Amino acid sequence: MNLQSSSSNPNFLKLRFTKGFLRALMRIYRHRSKSSSSPREISQRYRRIKLAADASMALAVGSRRLWSRAVLWRIRNQVRNRHVFVKRVSSHAIKKRAQKKKEEQYHLAYDDQENKLRKLVPGGAAMDICSLLDEASHYINCLTTQVKMMRRIAEICS
């Protein structure tokens, strides 16, 4: 498969995303219980759908991009740590977080917007400025595709 042509072909991305996302939706739909309209079920399903949408887009892009790799890595780690997450927040972690916040405030002086962008783009914290801008433009393209497809699916279902 020619990776160069596929990364510049928007329909390829749309198709891969839609197939994966619809498959995940079917799975979620099949597993709904009898009390499928309770608010708790709905909020749980909302979280699953959002995760499925983000994961489907990241999977459609694959490991070609830094941001998609960061999303997939984060999802895999969330699944792995799901059972131990609550116990792990120790005082050491809290101290580290406070220290990191102080360091971040020193870097904010030059370009506040750049740091905000780093937080919005997955994996942005570790990128240099060129990669950050490049990944941001690809990320925006994929997000708009994702929104377009989700909107179309919602229109069909309603």
Partner 1 sequence: MSSRRSRSRQSGSSRITDDQINDLVSKLQQLLPEIRDRCSDKVSASKVLQETCNYIRNLHREVDDLSERLSELLATTDTAQAAIIRSLLMQ
Binding of partner 1 at residue 78 (CB under 8 A)? no
Binding of partner 1 at residue 85 (CB under 8 A)? no
Question: Which of 13, 116, 2 minimizes the C-alpha distance to 68?
Answer: 13
Q: State the minimum distance, in angstroms, from the CB of residue 18 to partner 1.
A: 8
Binding of partner 1 at residue 130 (CB under 8 A)? yes
Binding residue for partner 1, selected from 16, 45, 69, 74, defined by CB under 8 A? 45
Binding of partner 1 at residue 19 (CB under 8 A)? yes
Count the residues of the shown chain that bind partner 1, applying the rule CB under 8 A.
Answer: 52
Q: State the minimum distance, in angstroms, from the CB of residue 84 to partner 1.
A: 27
16 Cβ partners below 8 Å, 6+ apart? 59, 60
- Angle 129-157/39-61 helices, nearest 10 degrees? 130
Q: State the minimum distance, in angstroms, from the CB of residue 22 to partner 1.
A: 5
Site for partner 1, rule CB under 8 A: 18-19, 22-23, 25-26, 28-29, 32, 36-37, 41-43, 45-46, 48-50, 53-54, 107, 109-111, 113-114, 116-117, 120-121, 128-130, 133-134, 136-137, 139-141, 143-144, 146-147, 150-151, 153-154, 156-158
